[in-house]
Structure 1
Amino acid sequence: MKNDSRSLVRVTNRQLVLQQLFNHPTTTRVDISRELDINKSTVSAIYNELNDEGFIEELGQGESTNRGGRKPNLVCLDKRYGFVASFEVGTNHLRIMFNYINGEVISYEAVMLNNRDMLTIMQLMKDRLQKMEQNNDTRHGLLAIGFSVHGIVDDNQIVDAPFMNTNGIDLAAYFENEFNVPTVLENEANLAAIFERDFGDRENYRDLLTISIHKGIGAGIIANHQLYRGFHGRAGEIGRSLVVGQNGELVKVEDLCSEEAILNRIAKEKGLAELTPMQLYELYRQHDEATEKVVAQAMQQMQKIAHNAVVGYGPQAVYFDSPLFDEIPELYQQLRDWLQVHHVDIPIRMIKGSEMASLLGASSIAIHRFLKMDQYSLTLKWPKSVSNIK
């Protein structure tokens, strides 16, 4: 029993030292020992172990203290320890991202899909992974894989994904067997929330909410720094909330104000078989009357569902993740102003670069899973291509 206890303490101390490397751009052994209140010899032993494994990059000597003495050796997490991959399968696209272990983006790619067959898409993912493995500049190569799913995920299984047909294929099991690394699946809105938590708004909110407006509408909930998933992963499905439609019938709110709903209504108004998002954005910029009317009606519904979500979950801050807002930022500004008028007095932000948010969240959960540190707070490197707009 004593040996088991010592082993557990040893593992915990190792994870705490790793956490210090993630959460400080530069540090020293002395600083780590002081921050964790762990004796220097224990920290040195763990440091040497992590250094031998390739986690640590030595940066040279820092400045000595006012009292003089030896200059400390500055160190940081070595991003080239390894890399993670993340994928998001949309209705007509596959998004692919590779990140170093510190979260820094190595590459991002969006591939248009002409073929929706899942086996074809999986082969494309495999090809990209194999190419990256052949050309990567890290010590240990691929560490883990994350998937962003537009639907409900429970216990690493897709429970309900209305915009993605896997044909019964277990994605996690398949890629774990193919590449022999941990593979994690999570809901897209949840991942956008994880992105905001882990890549650092610099304000470090313990409780935050992201509202994702894509094909559907979902909310990602961070409560006390942890992702709240609800029973069987069903928390945050705000797009499935029921509201009264034009004819008095009950309808899901996402049937009125999701991007998919807006596209379908405008296409119907114009007698078109279908309408692409890019066509929608262009029509709106041209002040097309029918388009402006449909969008205005959808935004009225979105204002109410966003207000109710904020009131219901009680976050410290709320973030909106939407390609519609990326392309037409005045719609976000109208929503923000409406919420403020209706007494939402917490910080309201838009994630600019929304197409990357869930992939960055997927990279974070992949990094956490590889390290076996799912419950630990790790600060990852903020990407240059994404920003939070007030």
Structure 2
Amino acid sequence: MLMVFIVEEKYTSRGFILQFHFLGTSAGSPTVERNVTALGFMPRGRKNWWLFDCGEGTQQRLLRSSLSLPKLNKIFITHMHGDHCYGLFGLLTSRGLMSGGEEAVHIFGPKGIKEMIKTVLKLSYVNLSAPLTFTEFDEAGDLFEDDEFIVSNVRLSHDVPSWGYVVKEKDRPGSFDSAKAIRDGIKPGPIYSKLKNAEMVTLEDGREVNGADYVGETQKGRVALIGGDNDRPQLFGDALKGAAVMIHEATHTEEAMAGLSFRSRHSTAKRVAEVAEENQVKNLVLTHFSPRFITKKRKGMKCVDEIEDEAKEFFHQDLHMARDYDVYELDRESKLKLIDSRYRKDHKSLNK
């Protein structure tokens, strides 16, 4: 299962507003209504965004989104199945033809991702203007860190080596109480920056004050879990505890799984919902639905509503079913809200 989501965040003293853009929500192959997995992540207020998985046709989905391809600077691939990575070659080639597309792109993924990309680009005579850098892995650990986030990987369970990503927002210092400082006779100025850092400061009148007395409680960073194809959601381990959002495949229902003539190394809605409920995950977004499940109910055919109904039995927090072009916003208090849905708008207009 693969999904693409974009996290956009609006930075304030309390952190970013995170936005997730779902570019593809189908498992294995596309349908009329759903493309294969891709998810954009972009802290709103930043100029660059990240992509998680890149199924075939992802660049077409981007054309109908608010994401700018030249501003993409990091790509995280969960595993090497085609519905999660075959879109890379066209996307990188198109990006290289655009103004601004000469900026570097860093690609993270399982061992083999570099060879695959380099080989296809070489054999198709593509010379990118943008340098590509790679971080390949075959074990879990921290992969990337900047001023705001730490990204690590988790080994999952699938037919091939498959990985999940944990995006951890760094803790933030509490808000500075300038009103209290003024009441205590501390005038605004450069000294405030020291107080905000909880430093000991000597004032002009000789008083010593502790900056910690003027700073509120540390604000814990939010955690977003992004799963690749995986039949054991509990493998996210301790990262599950109280996670702000978990985005995970729910390819089947229990009934559909039992009716298969082969072993599917994917999750059911029940399986994911039980793990999320047990670990008090605040928001669960299901995606990567089997093409056997159509979007709109039709007699004699399975519908995505069945996956949702099964999940609701076992997960009692905020549950969401991702559709292509959905944009979700996660606020500082970890409330997840659907803020845009091109599919739902198009679907409504078609049925007027």
Range into which the TM-score falls when normalised by the shorter chain: 0.3 to 0.5
Higher percent of residues as helix? 1
TM-score normalized with structure 2 length: 0.33
For normalisation by structure 1, the TM-score amounts to 0.31
